[in-house]
Structure 1
Amino acid sequence: MAKTHDMTHTVNETSLLSQDDLYLFNEGTHFHLYDKLGAHPVKRGGVSGTTFGVWAPDAAEVSVIGVFNDWKPGAHPLHMREHSGIWEGFLPGVGKGDLYKFHIRSRFNDYQVEKTDPFAIFNEIPPKTASIVWDCEYAWRDAEWMKTRRAHNALDAPQSVYEMHIGSWKRVPDEGDRSLSYRELAAVLPGYLREMNFTHVEFLPIMDHPFFGSWGYQTTGYFASSGCYGTPQDLMFLIDELHGHGIGVILDWVPSHFPTDAHGLSYFDGTHLFEHADPRQGYHPDWQTYIFNFGRNEVRSFLISSALFWMDKYHIDGIRVDAVASTLYLDYSRKEGEWVPNQYGGKENLEAIGFLRRLNEEIYAQYPDVQTTAEESTSWPMVSRPTYLGGLGFGLKWDMGWMHDTLAYMSLDPFFRRYHHDKLTFRMLYAFHENFVLPLSHDEVVYGKGSLLGKMPGDDWQKFANLRLLFGYMYAQAAKKLIFMGGEIGQRSEWAHDRSVEWHLLDQPAHKGLQRWVADLNRLYRDEPALHERDLDPAGFEWIDCTDAESSVISMLRKGKSAGSQMLVACNFTPVPRTNYRIGAPCGGFWKEVLNSDATLYGGSGWGNIGGVEAMPVPLHGRSHSLTLTLPPLAILFFKSPE
């Protein structure tokens, strides 16, 4: 009893929560909860210890259990703060590195459970489930990057993203085929990305997750970086090193659902606290996971705090929000009668829409130099348009339609491509309805879909030529770019999370040539304003000729903001070289061939235009001049306009 009395006496002195904090939390507008809830090592009145805070409104008792009390429930009870639903307390002598959990006894059915701290910033490595008292102290060295990152992340800047899974990018065969740690990655990844000329890296979710095979998409720790690769400070060091090499960092973030593991968020205090109680709204049949109750104020505070936490404490440059479509529609992946209509009888999830809008408003208000990206697989309108115009407020959206159409086209035998020419051209009917990213992501190389190289038709030479052409066509389009790891070297096997990228393939000239091609595409995209300044602006793109289906040839013009900034691009999607092929040009002079996917340097056959072509005053395709070109087989050419 004496210990309980002592803790009660020190609650007000040690609490991190003001009355305003409690009000804003319950109102759903407290977006820095990570500074208030969870475990925070502090010193009060000369006594070192840790303050604990957890939201469990329907608990009858909450106590902290850990190594410091032999995991004995009730030894260190917490106390409810008025009617906020928050339990808190101060434990003297508990400090950084100590293991702990919350023991919760519900007011209902004497339900008792041990829970990982929802606001923990560090947890044990699964299958262990305890939280670890920790801090976010780190001496950042990226002041120059943070000062200039607005320019790096601007919508008119080049954004070429390398998507990767930390656990399987590169492994150590001599040590049980283990993954690299954050610090080991810091020694090799930034240099590789810089050598490859990528502008950003996107990590599949690195938040704490109990099942490695979920790739992080079944998150339990929304504030905890995975301990599989090191401490929070080790991850900060990796991000610091990436920023030092001029590489922006994007994190996948999953607010759409969470797993049912007993130690996690599910049925947290003996009630459906974070999730909807009605399984028609709160359970996802595809992933067998719970769905957040976006209409609950405290849940919105929790999730938006999580997104801002990674920007505040880890200096990340953006988030990619996973599975947005699953949150927007009440009938997503459900049959008739398995979902609950909204108040107007519709299938739109009004509470989730409100949450996503507020999420983006808060992020851009506090961090106007970052970007948010939506993986949204339907034609929901204005995903990447401001909320004041009725949009969802994201900065960018993945163009899933382009990905499906283009991969379907590229997988065809070139003989039949003439009958499917519209798959190349259809995108331009909607290309500027959103701020698009063109994704060739991890989703396209798993679950039996094979690798990108494996999707390409023909013999081995043609497969590589087709893949170089696919990447070139992607970089010629008006949009930002994303390639999943392994694609840039022509990995032959589909991706598996428990083995490394097939780096040994780089001993073979064809794979090395493809890697060099991707690096040069990135360099050209980054260095030439015509290829990136108007990625999201209709004024930056014109077809020259998109009607030659019989030859499977398309040509286009990309334009920068200055008058002379132009790039002419021609693609031949057949293995037949085409000589004396005429294409309209907007002006006379010498058009320099700056990139050719058929160059021997990349593993091609060496067809080309000997460095460039002089435009002749022969009108064609509505242009005043024209070029007479040699179009190599299964290849793309980039020509820079005369100075």
Structure 2
Amino acid sequence: MNKVTIHSLFSDFDINLFKAGKHYRLYEKFGSHIITLDGVRGTYFSVWAPSAKTVSVIGDFNYWVDGEHLLHVRWDESGIWEGFIPDVGKGNIYKYKIQSNNNDVITEKADPYARRCEHPPKTASVVWEDSYDWKDNQWMKNRKKHNAIDAPFSVYEVHLGSWKRKIEEDRSLSYVELADELVSYVKKMNFTHVELMPIMEYPYDPSWGYQLTGYFAPTSRFGYPEEFKLLVDKLHQNDIGILLDWVPSHFPEDSHGLGFFDGSCLYEHPDKRKGFHPDWKSLIFNYERNEVKSFLISNAIFWLDQFHADGLRVDAVASMLFLDYSREDGEWEPNQYGGRENLAAIDFMKELNKEIYISYPDVQTIAEESTSFPMVSKPTFLGGLGFGMKWMMGWMHDTLLYFSKEPVHRKHHQNDLTFSMTYAFTENFMLPLSHDEVVYGKRSIINRMPGDEWQQFANLRLLYGYMFTHPGSNLLFMGAEFGQREEWNFQSSLDWHLLQYDYHSGIQKLITDLNSLYRKQPALYEKQFEADGFEWISYDDHENSVVAYLRKGNNKKDNLVIASNFTPVPRKNYRIGLPAQGELISLFNSDEKTYGGTGDFICENIIIKDEKWHYRDYSAEITIPPLGIVVYRIEGR
């Protein structure tokens, strides 16, 4: 006897939207929802399985017996199975047992819309609801000014499992502990935002969370969903935004996941040329299927809606854009126009961004995209993909390559450093030094720097100064802010003990002050994505390996002068051309003793002289420390 009552949360309108790929709040309908029906408390279940012959809910409430609780298929050919099971509630564990139409395939699947999952390696879903009382009203009311593209945007990228660990207990910090320790640390460091590597449930720790199985559930590794909300809430209460890494590009083949869900290729593309990633041995979403588009867009909206996220950093966009991504000739099929672009994925991304910015105009989407595909961060109404920002992978590659060279050779490679300015304003670029740059033998950032210990740290200070004063927003992976020597290891804590040493604590102090400089100086953020916010003073002094430039805000009184010396030879009495008379007010010097510098090259305020230089009417002589960067503000008379 079936113990499931026929009941539905779907209206005909919901079904029509779902079939059309236009339902962007599916989490309100699918999954498990605790309700009261005819005076009986229980749980409504619904799942999409169009190729199923039968769907049973199995769990700890029926001893995992198949057939005890059979769901009912809807009459409208939507492929939705649903029903109400009395006396099932919060904390009950379940899966869907699905028999396919051909009788040959039986799958046991976690709920794609589950709000909570068992702690890995367990794989079942958990019936869950929470009534978290948010206290971030002030942030949510005013966050547009924090998340705008003309606002400071300095991001601290974090892997929650390895940021800091309880050594004596050999465990990661919980969401509750992170709400105290991580929040206070980020606030002290003056970062404006935190970006979390994927916190959606994932089965395999070495994937770092980039192969998901629980798209609607914060990982149970660190606590309950409402405890993750507490972490977000505490960040907001301290005026810190939160970005979440989000992975709509692929998913793992784990038997309890989305793959071959109902005995058919339901979520993945059935053609292996479009549905399987050769690099990651994972499955690719079928962007041509309307219901899959609705699933993904609903998932993106879910984290903005239910968890107050301030934005999504979308992973592996390049792999979605191109049909030949990581494929040899003959392993991919051109699109209908003979090109290599994945037209369905492009349409999906445009639709995703359009819906996000309509519903949440005060957030940002950020594309991790490594190619020259045009208009990634341009609005969809102009033909762009509609992202708010795009990672500047070219800047990252060229800059790290340049800094890895011995200073004596840098004069031959200055173009590597300055080339980014030829395309810096084609997109809204974020400059990333991310987790991908400190793994798999690439070495830590500090260990890429040449020279002895002093030169390594001076180079690192110079790199960060150049990064923070270059046009664009920026992102720094945890550990880099104090010069961690070892490559990142997801299984162990950052090397916090290094802060007892002056060079490492000096780098931490430098990042704190650079964040403060960035936040306080409008010239560094008001036009960070606009060409008229930057102007070269000198980029061709190869022999001395010196570059100098202006950063400009909306008001001329905020204009900054930045000069960098990429050799260990101090540049004294170095003349630079300037646009106006007045005085150079010293704001920052990476060679200060508090940062681990020599402290020998003090930057004082300098009177600008009526002497032509660099094709300008005025100039001043400055001192640029060895492997150093200095920042001045022009104060007019």
Structure-1-length-normalised TM-score:
0.98
Alignment of 1:5-404 (within 5 A): 7=4, 10-12=5-7, 15-82=8-75, 83-176=77-170, 178-404=171-397
Asked if structure 2 preserves the Cα contact closer than 8 Å seen for 1:607 and 1:630, the reply is: no
Per the alignment, residue 457 of structure 1 pairs with 450
Q: Is the 8 A contact 1:201 1:248 kept in 2?
A: yes
State how far apart, in whole Å, the 2-side matches of 1:11 and 1:33 are.
Answer: 20
**Where does structure 1 lack aligned partners over 5 or more consecutive residues?**
none
The reply to whether residue 587 of structure 1 matches residue 587 of structure 2 is no
**Residues 438-497 of structure 1, C-alpha deviations (whole Å, 9 max, x = no match):** 000000000011100000000001000000000000011110010000000000001010
**Is the counterpart of residue 602 in structure 1 residue 598 in structure 2?**
no
Measure the CA separation in 2 of the matches of 1:540 and 1:610: 24
CA distance in 1 between counterparts of 2:23 and 2:102 reads 28
Shift of 1:108: 2.0
Query: Which residue is 1:492 aligned to?
Result: 485
User: 1:630 & 1:281 partners in 2: Cα distance?
Assistant: 57
Distance in 2 between the 1:74 and 1:641 partners? 77
RMSD after superposition? 0.8
Residues 1:615 and 2:608 are matched in the alignment: yes
Q: Which residue of 2 aligns with 1:560?
A: 553
- The equivalent of 2:459 in structure 1 is 466
Correspondence for 2:629 among 632, 636, 639: 636
Match of 1:437 among 430, 433, 437: 430
One-letter amino acid of the structure 2 residue matched with residue 84 of structure 1: S
1:290 Cα shift? 0.2
Q: For structure 2, which runs of at least 5 residues remain unmatched after alignment?
A: none
* Paired letter, 1:140: W
Residues in 1 aligned to 2:592 and 2:461: alpha-carbon distance in whole angstroms? 11
Distance 2:409 2:604 in 1: 32
Q: Please tell me whether the aligned partners of residues 603 and 623 of structure 2 are also in contact (alpha carbons under 8 angstroms).
A: no
Q: Secondary structure at the match of 2:116?
A: coil
Q: Which moved more, 1:135-144 or 1:159-168?
A: 135-144
Give, in whole Å, the separation in 2 of the partners of 1:354 and 1:74: 41
CA distance in 1, matches of 2:603, 2:539: 25
Q: CA deviation at 1:90?
A: 0.3
Quote the offset at 1:136 in angstroms.
Answer: 4.1
| CA–CA separation in structure 2 for the residues paired with 1:450 and 1:110 | 50
Following the alignment from structure 2 to structure 1, what is the Cα–Cα distance between the partners of residues 90 and 600? 64
- Whether the aligned pair in 2 keeps the contact of 1:553 and 1:570 (CA below 8 Å) is yes
Residue 610 of structure 2 aligns with an amino acid whose one-letter code is: P
Residues 519-530 of structure 1 aligned to structure 2 (within 5 Å) = 519-530=512-523
Amino acid at match of 1:472: G
Amino acid at match of 1:38: G
Q: Helix, strand or coil for the counterpart of 1:564?
A: helix
Q: Distance in 1 between matches of 2:397 and 2:452?
A: 23
Q: Deviation string for 1:375-411 (max 9, x for gaps)?
A: 1100000000011111000000000000000000000
- Deviation (angstroms), 1:143: 0.3
Contact 1:593 1:609 (C-alpha < 8 Å) held by counterparts: no
For the residues of structure 2 that align with 1:534 and 1:627, how far apart are their CA atoms?
A: 25
Q: CA deviation at 1:621?
A: 1.0
- Cα separation, 2, equivalents of 1:188 and 1:179: 12
Identity of aligned residues (%): 57
Question: In the alignment, does 2:362 pair up with 1:407?
Answer: no
Whether the 8 Å CA contact 1:330–1:348 is kept in 2: the answer is: yes
Instruction: With the length of structure 2 as denominator, give the TM-score of the two structures.
Output: 0.99
Q: Which runs of 4+ in 1 moved over 3 A?
A: none
